[in-house]
Chains A and B, each alone.
Chain A
C-alpha cells in the first residue's frame, strides 16, 4: 500500500492507495498514530483504497480513539462503494465522520 501525506493549514491528510490488509496495516499504524498528537485535524482520503480487512479497520479504530482522546478531528473522505460496504457491515459507518 502507498501512503502519502499532505498538509494544508492545520489539517494533515493521509492519501491511502491500494490494499489495507494484514501486511500493510502495521505500516499505516506506525505512520498515522504518532502524528495525531500535535495536529488539529486529520483526514483519511480513501479514494484510491481498493480493499480493507479487519487489520486495517483496527488501525482506523485506534486512530479514531486516539484522535478523540486528544480532541483532534478525524474525518474520512472519498470512500469507494466496496470499502463503504465494509464500514457498514462492521458498524464503522456509525461512528466515523465522513466528508469535511
Chain B
C-alpha cells in the first residue's frame, strides 16, 4: 500500500434506532488501498456502521467524505458506484442470468455498450472462476458461487472502495474458502476494502488494519499483529482470546459458599474443563476464599476466567481496604502451601483502594 491518500473520512458518525444508540461519535480515516477488517461480537453495530457509510441507512448525525467530497443525498447514487457493497445474502436478481446480473449495472449506470459490458463481465467471471456459469440463473448456483457472482458484479462497476457485509456468514462452511480466496486476490489488487467479518484468519492475514467494535464504536484499532496477538483493552482480549468468565461477589462474611461452589462447578461443566483442572480450580478457590480472604475481609469479588485460545485459567480476587497482601500475611499454613504449589503464578497489586490478587493456572 504505497498510496496514502485518504479516500474515506468518517466524522462524528452517530446512529440511533428509536431511543437506542447504536453508534456514537465514530471517527475513521481510510487510506486508498487499505484493507480493513471490522470484527466484534454480534449486536455491536458493525453492519450498521457499514450501511451508514454507504448511506443505506441514514445517519442520525455526522459526516462522511469520499475523496474530500461530503456525501449527501444528492450525490449518493454516484458515490455508491465508487463505493460498492457486497451483502451477506448476495442480493442477486433471481430472474437474470449470471451474465445479466453483472452487465445490467454497467449498461444502465456506466452506460457501457452491451458487447463491452459482456466482454468485461466474462473477463471478471474468469478471475472468480465462474466463466462456465455465465448463463446460469442464481438458483442454479451454490451459495459460494452466488457470492462470487455478487463480488464479480461489484468489481464490474469499477468501484474504488468495496464494503463487504459479512460476505461468508450465510454460507455453508465448505463454501467459505472459495469466497475468501476471491477476496484475498481482490485485496492484492490494491482496491480499498472494508470487511465486516467473522473470518478471523482472513482478518489476520489479509488486513492492513483491524477495527474491534464494541461499546457503540471503534473500541480498539490496530494492526492485525496488535489486535490478534497483543490486544490492549479488556473487551478486545475477551473477544480475541474467547475468554469465558464467572464472577461472584459478596459483602458478607456469611456468604453463600454453596452458591459459589455450584457457580464454579457450572462454569467448569459449561466449558468442558477436565476433572483434574476443575479440581485444581475448586481447590484454589476454596483455600483462597474460605481460609485466606473471607476471614479477613467481608467484601470481595472473585473473577474466574478461561481462555480456550490461550488454554489458560485465571483467578482474580479483589478485596477492598488497606493495602495488605493476604497471601503474605495470612498464618494459614496448609491453605497457603496448597495455593502456592498449585498456582503457576501469583501477582499482587494495590490500585485505588483495592487489593488485587491474580493467580494463573
Q: Could you list which residues of chain A lie within 8 angstroms of chain B, going by C-beta atoms?
A: 21-23, 50-51, 53-55, 57-58, 82, 86, 89-91
Residue of B nearest to A57 (CB): B334
Task: Please name all residues of chain A whose beta carbon is closer than 8 Å to the beta carbon of B332 when the two chains form the complex.
Answer: 54
Chain B positions 274 through 294: 1 when the CB is less than 8 Å from some CB of chain A, otherwise 0: 011001001100110011000
User: Does chain A have a CB within 8 A of B115?
Assistant: no
In-complex Cβ contact of A58 among B279, B334, B342 (8 A)? B334
Residue of B nearest to A54 (CB): B334
Take A22-B257, A22-B290, A82-B276 as given contacts and tell me if A53 and B341 are in contact as well, using a CB distance cutoff of 8 Å: no
User: Does chain A have a CB within 8 A of B338?
Assistant: yes
Chain B positions 318 through 347: 1 when the CB is less than 8 Å from some CB of chain A, otherwise 0: 000000000000001011011001100000
Residue of A nearest to B341 (CB): A89
Question: Shortest distance in angstroms between A34's beta carbon and chain B's nearest beta carbon?
Answer: 23
In-complex Cβ contact of B337 among A21, A55, A90 (8 A)? A90
Task: Please name all residues of chain B whose beta carbon is closer than 8 Å to the beta carbon of A58 when the two chains form the complex.
Answer: 334
Question: Shortest distance in angstroms between B150's beta carbon and chain A's nearest beta carbon?
Answer: 56
Could you tell me if B338 and A53 are in contact, using CB atoms closer than 8 angstroms?
A: yes
**Pairs A–B under 8 Å by Cβ, sample size 29:** A21-B282, A21-B286, A22-B257, A22-B286, A22-B290, A23-B261, A50-B275, A50-B279, A51-B282, A51-B283, A53-B282, A53-B338, A54-B287, A54-B332, A54-B335, A54-B338, A55-B286, A58-B334, A82-B279, A86-B283, A86-B338, A89-B337, A89-B341, A89-B342, A90-B334, A90-B337, A90-B338, A90-B341, A91-B337
**Within the assembled complex, what's the spacing in Å between the Cα atoms of A91 and B275?**
23
Question: Shortest distance in angstroms between B151's beta carbon and chain A's nearest beta carbon?
Answer: 55
Residue of B nearest to A83 (CB): B279
Task: Please name all residues of chain B whose beta carbon is closer than 8 Å to the beta carbon of A53 when the two chains form the complex.
Answer: 282-283, 286-287, 338
**Within the assembled complex, what's the spacing in Å between the Cα atoms of A22 and B332?**
14
Take A22-B286, A23-B257, A82-B279 as given contacts and tell me if A54 and B341 are in contact as well, using a CB distance cutoff of 8 Å: no
Task: Please name all residues of chain B whose beta carbon is closer than 8 Å to the beta carbon of A50 when the two chains form the complex.
Answer: 275, 279
Could you tell me if A54 and B291 are in contact, using CB atoms closer than 8 angstroms?
A: yes
Task: Please name all residues of chain A whose beta carbon is closer than 8 Å to the beta carbon of B282 when the two chains form the complex.
Answer: 21, 51, 53
Take A21-B286, A22-B257, A22-B286 as given contacts and tell me if A51 and B334 are in contact as well, using a CB distance cutoff of 8 Å: no
Task: Please name all residues of chain A whose beta carbon is closer than 8 Å to the beta carbon of B337 when the two chains form the complex.
Answer: 89-91
Could you tell me if A51 and B257 are in contact, using CB atoms closer than 8 angstroms?
A: no
**Within the assembled complex, what's the spacing in Å between the Cα atoms of A3 and B120?**
82
Task: Please name all residues of chain B whose beta carbon is closer than 8 Å to the beta carbon of A89 when the two chains form the complex.
Answer: 337-338, 341-342
Task: Please name all residues of chain B whose beta carbon is closer than 8 Å to the beta carbon of A54 when the two chains form the complex.
Answer: 286-287, 291, 332, 334-335, 338
**Within the assembled complex, what's the spacing in Å between the Cα atoms of A53 and B335?**
8
**Within the assembled complex, what's the spacing in Å between the Cα atoms of A55 and B290?**
10
Task: Please name all residues of chain A whose beta carbon is closer than 8 Å to the beta carbon of B335 when the two chains form the complex.
Answer: 54
Task: Please name all residues of chain B whose beta carbon is closer than 8 Å to the beta carbon of A86 when the two chains form the complex.
Answer: 283, 338
**Within the assembled complex, what's the spacing in Å between the Cα atoms of A22 and B287?**
9
Task: Please name all residues of chain A whose beta carbon is closer than 8 Å to the beta carbon of B283 when the two chains form the complex.
Answer: 51, 53, 86
Question: Shortest distance in angstroms between A7's beta carbon and chain B's nearest beta carbon?
Answer: 31
Task: Please name all residues of chain A whose beta carbon is closer than 8 Å to the beta carbon of B286 when the two chains form the complex.
Answer: 21-22, 53-55
Task: Please name all residues of chain A whose beta carbon is closer than 8 Å to the beta carbon of B276 when the two chains form the complex.
Answer: 82
Residue of B nearest to A88 (CB): B341
Question: Shortest distance in angstroms between B280's beta carbon and chain A's nearest beta carbon?
Answer: 9
Residue of B nearest to A22 (CB): B290
Task: Please name all residues of chain B whose beta carbon is closer than 8 Å to the beta carbon of A91 when the two chains form the complex.
Answer: 337
Question: Which of A54, A82, A86 has the most chain B CB atoms closer than 10 A to its own CB?
Answer: A54
Task: Please name all residues of chain B whose beta carbon is closer than 8 Å to the beta carbon of A57 when the two chains form the complex.
Answer: 334
Question: Shortest distance in angstroms between A46's beta carbon and chain B's nearest beta carbon?
Answer: 14
Question: Which of B258, B279, B291, B342 has the most chain A CB atoms closer than 10 A to its own CB?
Answer: B279
**Within the assembled complex, what's the spacing in Å between the Cα atoms of A57 and B282?**
15
**Within the assembled complex, what's the spacing in Å between the Cα atoms of A23 and B259?**
13
Task: Please name all residues of chain A whose beta carbon is closer than 8 Å to the beta carbon of B290 when the two chains form the complex.
Answer: 22, 55
**Within the assembled complex, what's the spacing in Å between the Cα atoms of A91 and B335?**
13
